[in-house]
A and B are shown apart, each in its own frame.
Chain A
Amino acid sequence: MIISLKSALYAIAAAMVAIGIAGEPSQAALQVDITGGQVEPMPIALPVFIAGSEEVGQISLDLTQVIANNLDNSGLFRPLPPQSYIEQISDFSREPRFGDWRTIQAQALVTGQVVMQPDGRLRAEFRLWDVFAQRQITGLQFQATPKSWRRIAHKISDAIYMALSGEGGYFDSRIVFVEESGPKDQRVKRLAIMDQDGENLRTLTNGEDLVITPRFSPTTQEITYMSFAGDTPRVYLYNIETRQREIVGVFPNMTFSPRFSPDGQRVIMSLQSGANANIFALDLRSRTTRQLTNTTAIDTAPSYSPDGGHVAFESDRGGTQQIYVMSADGAGQQRISRGPGRYSTPVWSPRGDYIAFTKLVNGNFAIGVMRPDGSGERILTEGFHNEGPTWAPNGRILMFFRDSPGESGGPKLYSVDITGRNERVVNTPGFASDPAWSPLLK
């Protein structure tokens, strides 16, 4: 009995050794670490959307172009020239010949079509393809009145952007700003609004009164701005759709245009008394104001965090202008900016992860970001009189204005990615300043 057990054990051991030596390597496959890559815009192919009928031929062309421009301007994509395309897309429901698109180095492909429905509405649909994995990534359909074809193009752009980058889009949004014209010492300032790509520009005021610092309401299609009829600053609420404006109040001592709270219920502003200025919150329904800071310094330029729980603002209580953060009720006021120089115009990102600011050091203006605790400060761009950053709805892009020196110089709007890349000028017909970026349109 014992002997048979032993020989059994030997036999097992022998078999295991045999398998061990002669067996295929059962250790894990070769492991290779890839710890970096290239920063490059993704080559993407966008053949013109198929037109369902002749009457939508021009819209199909324009719509495709708007999408291509959006993706190109974001800096993350490189639309390939249509003359290089090998396959001609003629049937929206068929799978493309992926080999043809691989040949021209496209990594993603968008096919689409535009149809005028019998009920008079425009329908646009698209499919986004992964050329190398040879599969569809996403496909969506939009319907709207034909006049709103640009909004459809922007919504399609947002869907493509989100599917390929993982980040929320920002293309279906608008910019309100101050249009400036006339000689430098006698500028006429008008309120204007446009799509984020610079199209659809519309002037909202007639230039009689000086207007400054327009801001979007987060919840409705309204803008606030300050207007000076004579010397008295008035705060107006302007409805973009109805084009009606109402006066929010006359604030003889207002130093800085109000901003909305994220829930749209309050506006926060800075009011001057004597040589100092303090921050106040006005409840839009009850019309009661609450004082949040009470110092002998100049506290101004307040900006809510996206959850409405905190406020970032600018204060010179420490001797020079710096950035402070406090709770929405005024408690816990703390300085967060650390470097040398003067910090102003803090704006909290819609994602809550950064605060953008203007910084002046050694006579140089710069736009930068820092985390809400003051760490991770990074300068994105420097230039002559850069100022007034505003965030895109996805928290990845900042728009600001930059002046140019000299008699014939004037401010223009610029945008830059939060990584500091892809700085571009926004094409407005004339000079422009004080931009404010709307949330994503619904």
Chain B
Amino acid sequence: MRYSLAISIGVHAAILLAAIIALPAPDTLKVEELDSIPVDVVSIEELSQRKAMVKAEEKKPMERPAPIKPLVEEKKPEPKPAEEVKKAAVEPEPEPEPAKPIEKQPDPKPLEDLIKETEKAKPKTEEKKTAEAPEVKPKLKPEKPKKKAKKELDIDKVAALLNKIEDEPASPARIEDLAGEPEQGDLNLASGEDMRISANEIDWLRHKIRECWNPPVGVMEAQGLQVHVQIELDQSGAVLGQPAVVNSSAHPLFGVAASSAVRAILRCQPYDRLPVEKYEAWRSIILNFDPVEMFSG
């Protein structure tokens, strides 16, 4: 017994020693000089929203991928002509800058999808591109070579996108920023104090949405029913894309509660009294709807 223990310890020690001595030292980790890459915690809904924004018009929502599940199934085959009508209407519309969502996705996987997305958007953007070419130099150049190729993942393309990201300073471009170069200075604030939105401003927003929210009558009586909706706003306070419901619940009234929340948000835009100079602080908001005050018991 004792022998086997000793042998075991001996062999273990020998292996350890061998590993320490004989294995090569790990390479120094090469850390490239990176400009700060904006890291956004993105949920699936947001990802699909960003894809939607590729197809959508500039500010007003048009084509809907509808993250909210339909309340009642459509029993008619005829809605299809309506859908087609809708799509036909979208196509001739001018396309926004598709580069915009790409900058926000440093992960490789979404990059692939976005490359594919960019490819799909290509046929629609051609007219607009030529018109905008002189204005939007740094963003469009890497895209021109992509025009021809379709839906293949090329290392070159990935590199091109990465390059584009590296070229860009930290703040992602929005349509409004196309006119000027985004300034690197914005995001190097050490303290971040100046960027915080004040309680008054939040109160204004809360009050505004409350005025527009008509929860269905059963929802007002439901305890513990909450709807969390995430929205992206542009600098004028208009909602970008479609509000995304980011939670779920088995409660039978969750669907109508969610619809009523989304409706409230869309009705009351633009939220134009939010301070433009603090835009970074309020451009992405999660609204938590919970009608506790209305519960009458």
| Assembled-state Cα–Cα distance A141/B78 (Å) | 11
Q: Is the CB of B81 within 8 A of A136?
A: no
Known A-B contacts A24-B170, A30-B285; the reply to A8 vs B219 at CB < 8 A is no
Q: Is the CB of A22 within 8 A of B36?
A: yes
Known A-B contacts A125-B76, A166-B252; the reply to A28 vs B41 at CB < 8 A is yes
Q: Is the CB of A36 within 8 A of B294?
A: yes
Pick the contact of B85 from A95, A125, A127, A132 — CB < 8 Å?
A95
Q: Is the CB of A29 within 8 A of B215?
A: no
Known A-B contacts A23-B39, A93-B81; the reply to A5 vs B286 at CB < 8 A is no
Pick the contact of B284 from A30, A76, A140, A166 — CB < 8 Å?
A30
Pick the contact of B71 from A94, A127, A138 — CB < 8 Å?
A138
Please tell me which stretch of A38-46, A228-236, A279-287, A357-365 contacts chain B, meaning at least 4 of its Cβ atoms lie within 8 angstroms of it: A38-46
How many chain B residues touch the partner (CB < 8 A)? Answer: 86
Q: Is the CB of B36 within 8 A of A23?
A: yes
Q: Is A274 an interface residue (CB 8 A)?
A: no
Q: Binding site of A, secondary structure by majority: helix, strand, loop or mixed?
A: mixed
Pick the contact of A139 from B25, B75, B280, B286 — CB < 8 Å?
B75
Q: Is the CB of A35 within 8 A of B79?
A: no
Q: Is the CB of B286 within 8 A of A29?
A: yes
Q: Is A118 an interface residue (CB 8 A)?
A: no
Q: Specify which chain A residues have a CB less than 8 angstroms from the CB of B86 in the assembled complex.
A: 95
Residue among B31, B35, B212, B297 facing the most chain A CB atoms (10 A cut-off): B31
Q: Specify which chain A residues have a CB less than 8 angstroms from the CB of B68 in the assembled complex.
A: 133
Q: Is the CB of B288 within 8 A of A34?
A: yes
Known A-B contacts A23-B38, A32-B286; the reply to A376 vs B297 at CB < 8 A is yes
| Assembled-state Cα–Cα distance A442/B222 (Å) | 29
A103 → chain B closest CB, angstroms: 12
| Assembled-state Cα–Cα distance A376/B289 (Å) | 25
Q: How large is the interface on A (under 10, 10 to 19, 20 to 34, 35 or more residues)?
A: 35 or more
Q: Is the CB of B70 within 8 A of A137?
A: yes
Interface contact tally, CB-CB below 8 A: 209
Q: Is the CB of A127 within 8 A of B79?
A: yes
- What 1/0 flags go to B191-213 for Cβ under 8 Å of A? 01000010000100110011111
Q: Is the CB of B40 within 8 A of A37?
A: no
Please tell me which stretch of B115-123, B132-140, B260-268 contacts chain A, meaning at least 4 of its Cβ atoms lie within 8 angstroms of it: B260-268
Q: Specify which chain A residues have a CB less than 8 angstroms from the CB of B17 in the assembled complex.
A: none
| Assembled-state Cα–Cα distance A370/B23 (Å) | 78
Q: Is the CB of A35 within 8 A of B291?
A: yes
Q: Specify which chain A residues have a CB less than 8 angstroms from the CB of B292 in the assembled complex.
A: 35-36
Q: Is the CB of B82 within 8 A of A136?
A: yes
Q: Is B275 an interface residue (CB 8 A)?
A: no
Q: Is B61 an interface residue (CB 8 A)?
A: yes
A375 nearest in chain B by CB position: B297
Q: Is the CB of B280 within 8 A of A25?
A: yes
Q: Is A250 an interface residue (CB 8 A)?
A: no
Pull 21 A–B residue pairs with CB atoms less than 8 Å apart, ordered by A: A8-B26, A22-B36, A25-B192, A26-B39, A28-B286, A32-B285, A34-B264, A38-B212, A39-B220, A93-B81, A94-B81, A95-B82, A107-B267, A125-B76, A139-B74, A139-B75, A139-B76, A140-B75, A165-B216, A166-B216, A166-B252
Q: 18 additional contacts, CB 8 Å, given A24-B38, A166-B256?
A: A15-B31, A21-B36, A25-B280, A29-B285, A30-B286, A32-B285, A34-B206, A36-B210, A37-B264, A37-B291, A39-B214, A93-B78, A95-B86, A133-B259, A133-B262, A134-B61, A138-B72, A166-B252
A contact set with B: CB distance below 8 Å: 1, 4-5, 7-8, 11-12, 14-15, 18-19, 21-26, 28-40, 42, 76, 92-95, 107, 125, 127, 130, 132-141, 159, 162-167, 376, 396, 417, 419
